[in-house]
Structure 1
């Protein structure tokens, strides 16, 4: 259900990193690592499952929104997620 804006103490601009600002062009990342990095956490930071689920709510739309600037790699094994990286001219 919608919530009135005046119920919040502060509203922030919806300003996300671009793919180029967030990702190292020589690295590939899982959506879980991207989720952490969008919150200025280390990609390997230990977080609880509930927090990770919330961060994924931000990361998945970010990946979709930045799809034109990304490349995708299949998982290296069946028990691993796929990887995303910054598209380069190479």
Structure 2
């Protein structure tokens, strides 16, 4: 059900980070790590399953939107789907 904005003291603008503002040029990250970075958290921050899921839901569209600025590699570890980082500019 929609909620009136007036019920909240803190309604903020919706800002998305540029990839180079979040990612290290020389590193590749998993999607959960990217999701944490986009929230201003360390890549190894402990999150509940719910929070991690929500953060990942935000990270994937961000990755698609910024696809021209990103690269990926397939890791040797079968437990990791992919690693993502900045494209060389």
> TM class by shorter-chain length?
0.7 to 0.9
- Give SS of 1:57's match: helix
Look up the match of 1:85: 85
Gaps in structure 1 of 5+ consecutive residues: none
Look up the match of 1:8: 8
| TM-score after normalising by structure 1 | 0.86
Partner Cα distance (2:30, 2:7) in 1: 35
- Give SS of 2:88's match: coil
Partner Cα distance (2:74, 2:8) in 1: 41
Gaps in structure 2 of 5+ consecutive residues: none
CA shift for structure 1 position 9 = 2.5
| TM-score after normalising by structure 2 | 0.87
